[in-house]
Amino acid sequence: MNKNRQDIDELLLLQYLQGNLDNEQRSEVEAWLEADGGNRKHLDSLESLWLETGRISPAPVAVDVSAAWGRISERIAKEEGHTAGKRVRMPYYRFLMGAAATILVLAGLYGFYRLVISPVKQVQMFSGATVKRDTLPDGSEVTLNSHSTLVYSSNYQKGRRDVKLTGEAYFEVTKDAAHPFVVDAGPASVKVLGTSFRVKTDGGKGIEVTVAEGQVMLFTVDKNTGDTASVKLNAGEAGYLRPGSNQPVLDSTAVADGLFWANHALDFRSMALSEVFTILKKHYQVNITVSDPAMNGCRLTASFQDEPADRILQVIAGSFGWELQVSGNEFHLTGHGCSN
């Protein structure tokens, strides 16, 4: 049957563009298209109109890419068999379906490339012979002691904020309740949300953790059983994991000068002045003497940061009602025991 554009059923053309015709009906339309060049122009104009009005815009459905490609390949093979030697127009919706399937396949290949061919890179911070300060992608600040290394992944902050430490570091962590900050210190780990603390992985006591602000958890995980052991540390406290042990322990008093290398902080908590003077001599290269040996037994509770030795000793003298004499790096305290 050879129909021209005046006697073709437009409903038949609509069904053709939607791909709903059987083989006999499809052959009828294709014969009509071949009969007159004007027929194809007429179909093109109808297709544009129907696309604009939504008549050939089927609702989106979930696509099984593998199955879709199978069906498309099978249909193309059948059409090639029926239309050998003829010019066949692919319905618009089939083009869209093929394009969508192609995009999904390419997206899958890109994901495979990202995960397998292009693995996540590691970012390394190394302090060398000096103390190094740096900032992590989330704004958390890190101070690395000499000869220390911190490693984190290039996708840091997209999941949990994990870093691996070898040596000693002081952290000032940006608070983020959705993404805990975890320090892998080898045999133990430290977990926080937002706080300031120090971790030392190679100390004489094993793993050492000192908390300046907030609260942290020092924990271990048994690789064989999956069991965990942990202690919570508050500001001013320290925790340790002894060499060869799987059980962290709490020390209610942190090392007074544990953070001095990082921020010049000293935190004396009911410490005998004899010990206070030893720490001051160590960090400030000064000599301190007292007029009465009993003064060495007096206990001091005070915190200092970025304070010079003379200022610290003036505070001590004022706290106990003593006199302070200064001559260069020589400091002499005069008094009679603990008068505070």
Distances (CA, A) of 298 to 256, 270, 324: 16, 9, 16
Reported as a single tens digit per residue, the pLDDT across 69-120 is 455 455 555 555 554 444 444 455 555 555 555 655 565 655 554 544 445 6
Tokens of 101: 């399937």
Extended beta strands in the chain, E state: 122-126, 132-135, 141-144, 149-153, 161-166, 168-172, 181-184, 189-192, 196-203, 206-213, 215-221, 228-234, 238-241, 249-251, 265-272, 287-290, 299-305, 323-327, 330-334
Reported as a single tens digit per residue, the pLDDT across 298-317 is 999 999 999 999 999 999 99
Q: Please, how many CA atoms are within 13 Å of residue 161, restricted to the half-sphere of its CB?
A: 21
pLDDT at 94: 55
Q: Which CATH number fits domain 122-251: 3.30.2270.10, 2.60.120.1440, 3.40.50.300, 2.60.260.20?
A: 2.60.120.1440
List the one residue out of 254, 142, 275, 169 whose CA is nearest residue 205: 254
pLDDT at 90: 47
Helix (H, G, I), strand (E, B) or coil at 290: strand
Where in the chain are all domains bearing CATH 2.60.120.1440? Answer: 122-251
The series of mean pLDDT values per 10 residues for the chain, 340 residues long, is: 58 76 82 82 70 45 42 54 48 54 58 51 89 93 95 78 94 89 93 88 82 92 84 91 90 85 91 95 96 93 93 93 94 83
Contact criterion met (CB below 8 Å) for 94 and 130:
no
pLDDT at 298: 93
- Distance between terminal CA atoms of the chain? 117
Q: What is the sign, positive or negative, of the torsion defined by CA atoms of 272, 273, 275, 280?
A: positive
Helix (H, G, I), strand (E, B) or coil at 18: helix
Which letter does DSSP use for residue 92 in this model? H
Backbone angles phi, psi at 199, to 5 degrees: -130, 135
Where in the chain are all domains bearing CATH 3.55.50.30? Answer: 264-334
Fold of 264-334: Phage tail protein beta-alpha-beta fold (3.55.50)
Tokens of 262: 């990082």
